[in-house]
Amino acid sequence: MLKKVFIQTIALSALLLTTSCDSWLELRPQDGIVQDRFWNNKEQVASAVGGIYASVIDVIPEKVFVMGEIRADMISPSFRITNNELDILNSNILPTNALTDWRDFYRIINYCNTVISFAPAVLDKDKTYTQDALKAHVAEAKAIRAWMYFYIVRLYGDAPLKTSATSSDDEIVPIAKSTQKEILAQIEKDLLEAEPDAPTSYGTKEKDHGRVTKYMVNTLQADVYLWMEKPTEALAATNKVISSAKFGLVSNPATRSNAWFSTVRSGNSTEGIFELAYGSDYTIRFGITNYPMYAIFGLGNSSAYRRYQASAYVNEEIFTEDLLDPTNYDTRADESSLTMTTGVIRKYDRAAGETPFNVVMYRYADVLLMKAEALAMLNRGTEALAIVKQIRTRAWAIVQTEQSPDPANIDGAGGVLDYILDERAREFAFEGKRWFDVLRNAKRANYKRIDLLVNLTARSVPSERQQSAIAKIKDPNSHYLPIYQYEIQTNKLLVQNPFYK
């Protein structure tokens, strides 16, 4: 049964993601076709790879936002927030909370494992399927598998590590947890193997932004290496993207305007490196009200579906205001991304007929700020600050948020790394990165900067819960989510994460 379910899911995913006549996902298997009849030609492999992307698009945008922001300090609840979300926001995380369920990540991982395991056999069955095409498909699957495991290791710490396909009921066996170190080693291995085989281009800018490229792999490598506290390797990865000369910051206009950000957020700009693309005619699959981010923010000033809005901290500290000159503002905090007076998050607003319709996961500004972070860790503070200035200049950042840290003060309070962290909060506000950014900086050098998490918690948790929440956040075990109770009950080899026993 599992064999058929897997292929049916791939078929359905490919069907859902096919939105225009020239889509690379158009070739797809018929529902019900099973494994021994499926892996026979290059079109079927391409369809299976397309199914991976479809499953990512179905799950990741909302999940990444919630898990990357809800434990941080830049959002506050709106009236539609769920009880499960409110519990996490209030630092009351229990193994029975369905938001801690990791099955969506592992489902995508199994799709990747299946392509990696079964695609090579197609070379002998379809003589038009080339070795280069196979390598590219496997590279895509390995990169996305690494990406999913990177979320898992940052959210859960130790977790099961499976790199073989589960394609039949007989192959469903309990798996114990692997250590964070083992999972990170597999992520690093997958990305190193994917890098030489991932395409540099698929021929169109839409595909280049919506599929794994060599530059997406390099960007993900930089992110992983920063988490692993390997700044030399992170710097090398960012330099590969920069030296390609294929990307750049979207230029700011001569006068203060949000035009640059409107271009970035829509997708397929010169700044985009990896985006989740909903197709050139998204209305075939999505109307405005079932666009994934609508269920989080609503759209425009509509509050019918809104679960989150910006916290007071965003207005008061992250962006601030020039009280003497209202025409002087950071263009990352204007009507294209945030209504400062109400806290309504506008970053994912879309209009009927608007194209492209992408959710940006990695962009060039991220590469630059990751490079700045790596440089700072290597005691090259002056170079790191020059990059921060470049980012701020493009965004018309206001003097009220400008800092002048001593280039030699790298990781102390108010130092270069703190300034980079603050700038990342402005540049990537509400993009699902804040919790991971703060945790990465806090845990560096054996939690030298635990104060970053303590301060974050003091800002984000209601006053009546603060003392309890601060006591919890001081325990590194609390920084990872519990294993969902269902998984503990069905897999007897799993041991609950220490903080939740």
With 0-12 CB in 10 A as exposed, 13-18 as middle and 19+ as buried, what is 296?
Answer: buried
* Angle value at C-alpha 312, between 311 and 313, nearest 5 degrees: 85
- Other CB atoms closer than 10 Å to residue 438's CB: what's the count? 22
pLDDT at residue 278, rounded to an integer: 73
Identify which of 28, 21, 3, 15 has the alpha carbon closest to the alpha carbon of residue 57: 15
According to the model, what pLDDT value does residue 13 have? 44
User: How many C-beta atoms lie closer than 10 Å to residue 49's C-beta?
Assistant: 26
Distances from the Cα of 265 to the Cα of 270, 279, 304, angstroms? 11, 15, 23
* Predicted local distance difference test score (pLDDT) of residue 12: 39
Give the pLDDT confidence score for residue 36 in this predicted structure: 64
- What lies within 8 Å, CB to CB, of 469 at 6+ separation is 90, 91, 457, 461
pLDDT of residue 299: 66
Location of structure tokens 């989150």: 308
Give residue 1's pLDDT.
36
The per-residue pLDDT for 9 is 45
Interhelix angle 42-69/434-447, nearest 10 degrees: 80
- Rounded to whole angstroms, the Cα distance separating 159 from 162 reads 10
Distance, in Å, from the CA atom of 463 to the CA atom of 471, rounded to the nearest integer, reads 13
Termini Cα distance of the chain: 35
Phi, psi of 178 (to 5 degrees): -100, 160
Judge contact between 464 and 108, C-beta under 8 A. no
pLDDT score for 472: 96
Closest CA to 200 of 188, 187, 210, 212: 212
Q: How far apart are CA 50 and CA 137, in angstroms?
A: 10
Instruction: Provide the 8-state DSSP code for 30.
Output: P
Distance CA 501, CA 497 (A): 7
Q: For tokens 């898992």, name the residue.
A: 152
pLDDT by residue, tens only, the chain of 501 residues: 344 444 444 443 443 333 333 333 333 333 333 466 789 999 999 999 999 999 998 889 889 999 999 999 999 998 889 999 999 999 999 999 999 999 999 999 999 999 999 999 999 999 999 999 999 999 999 999 999 999 999 999 999 999 999 866 666 788 999 999 999 999 999 999 999 999 999 999 989 999 999 999 999 999 999 999 999 999 999 999 999 999 999 998 888 988 888 889 888 999 999 999 875 444 445 555 556 677 788 766 666 678 999 999 999 999 999 999 989 999 999 877 888 888 889 888 877 667 777 889 999 999 999 999 999 999 999 999 999 999 999 999 999 999 999 999 999 999 999 999 999 999 999 999 999 999 999 999 999 999 999 999 999 999 999 999 999 999 999 999 999 999 999 999 999 999 999
pTM of the model: 0.92
Q: Which two tokens stand for residue 34?
A: 């099973």
Q: What is the pLDDT of residue 469?
A: 96
